[in-house]
């Protein structure tokens, strides 16, 4: 998915937010905004938003001297996810279609996102996931591919959200699937890292890998030309790919293999691309 003009205000707003998370010094905030705005003047709109975000956040980190401006927010999100988990797990166990409920709740968890301007209430989204159906047109294809798959590549998105992923991972493990859970190598907004996945106990259910191992900067989402050889091999040969969140949709919607995207739509450009509305819970296959 290409970058649009409407993405520019989001980058600027996010830059100020991250700078304020890193320091109270308003002069540094000003320096961040000026350098980010200068950088954005020379970008290519052919690049995806995650590619541009990689460089924007490198500027923020360098000027603020903070390697992880969102660290406190990420830790709080993980605690929130942990506290919600038993409630969520009960909903999955009690539902007649536990797989579908686990998918719904995994998608609902995608609301935990500091990378967008459109913040949605977690409890409201969970309640909506329980009370109403979402577009299930891709669910039969999901189940068919799942039945035929042994190895699943599961691309994570955000901290906190990983506890919602855990519900679906457990369902997949219970039916004999082998999972590789993919995180980021470096802090980028509130995307999940190796330590976050271990905090949620994902290492008890799946092999954890960083898609961009070896790089010193990460993207919010998956961008193939920053991927390690190990990841590229797994992306080609694993039977099924599941990708969480808008960043992964923006980076992978045009790739030449079948990917199942699970996300809450938070941006009208993504909504337009998927042909849905902001706030919708989406299970979307790109083929």
Domain holding 257: CATH number? Answer: 3.40.50.10880
Examine residue 110 and state whether it is found in any structural domain, yes or no: yes
Examine residue 2 and state whether it is found in any structural domain, yes or no: no
Q: Residue 204 is part of which domain span?
A: 71-285
The answer to whether the CB of 165 falls within 8 A of the CB of 173 is no
Beta bridge partners of 240: 152
Q: Model's pTM, two decimal places?
A: 0.93
Longest C-alpha distance within the chain, in Å? 57
| pLDDT at 129 (0 to 100) | 65
Examine the fold and report which residue of 16, 36, 64 is the final residue of a domain before the chain moves on.
64
Number of domains in the chain: 2
Instruction: Tell me the mean pLDDT in the region 210-221.
Output: 96
Instruction: Tell me the mean pLDDT in the region 13-25.
Output: 96
| pLDDT at 133 (0 to 100) | 58
Beta bridge partners of 193: 184
Examine the fold and report which residue of 37, 64, 91 is the final residue of a domain before the chain moves on.
64
Least confident of 113-117, 194-198, 213-217: 113-117
Does the pLDDT value for residue 117 go beyond 90?
A: no
Q: In sequence order, which ranges of 23-156 are alpha helices (DSSP H)?
A: 26-40, 49-64, 71-94, 98-108, 122-131, 139-147
């Amino acid at each position: 998915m290409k970058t649009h003009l409407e993405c520019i205000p989001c980058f600027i707003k996010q830059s100020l937010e991250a700078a304020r998370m890193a320091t109270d010094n308003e002069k540094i905030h000003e320096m961040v905004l000026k350098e980010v705005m200068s950088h954005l003047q020379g970008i290519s709109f052919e690049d995806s938003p995650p590619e541009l975000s990689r460089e924007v956040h490198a500027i923020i980190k360098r000027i603020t001297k903070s390697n992880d401006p969102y660290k406190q927010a990420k830790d709080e999100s993980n605690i929130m996810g942990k506290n919600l988990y038993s409630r969520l797990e009960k909903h999955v166990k009690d539902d007649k279609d536990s797989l579908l409920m686990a998918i719904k709740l995994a998608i609902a968890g995608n609301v935990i996102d500091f990378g967008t301007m459109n913040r949605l209430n977690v409890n409201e989204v969970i309640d909506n996931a329980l009370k109403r159906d979402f577009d299930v047109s891709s669910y039969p294809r999901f189940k068919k591919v799942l039945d035929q798959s042994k190895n699943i590549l599961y691309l994570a998105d955000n901290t906190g959200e990983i506890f919602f992923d855990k519900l679906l991972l457990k369902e997949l493990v219970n039916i004999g699937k082998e999972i590789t859970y993919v995180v980021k190598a470096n802090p980028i907004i509130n995307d999940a890292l190796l330590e976050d996945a271990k905090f949620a106990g994902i290492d008890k259910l799946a092999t954890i890998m960083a898609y961009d191992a070896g790089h010193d900067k990460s993207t919010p989402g998956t961008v193939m030309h920053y991927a390690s050889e190990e990841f590229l091999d797994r992306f080609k040969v694993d039977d099924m790919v599941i990708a969480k969140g808008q960043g992964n949709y923006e980076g992978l919607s045009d790739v030449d293999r079948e990917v199942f995207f699970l996300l809450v739509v938070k941006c009208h450009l993504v909504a337009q691309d998927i042909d849905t509305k902001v706030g919708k819970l989406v299970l979307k296959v790109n083929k």
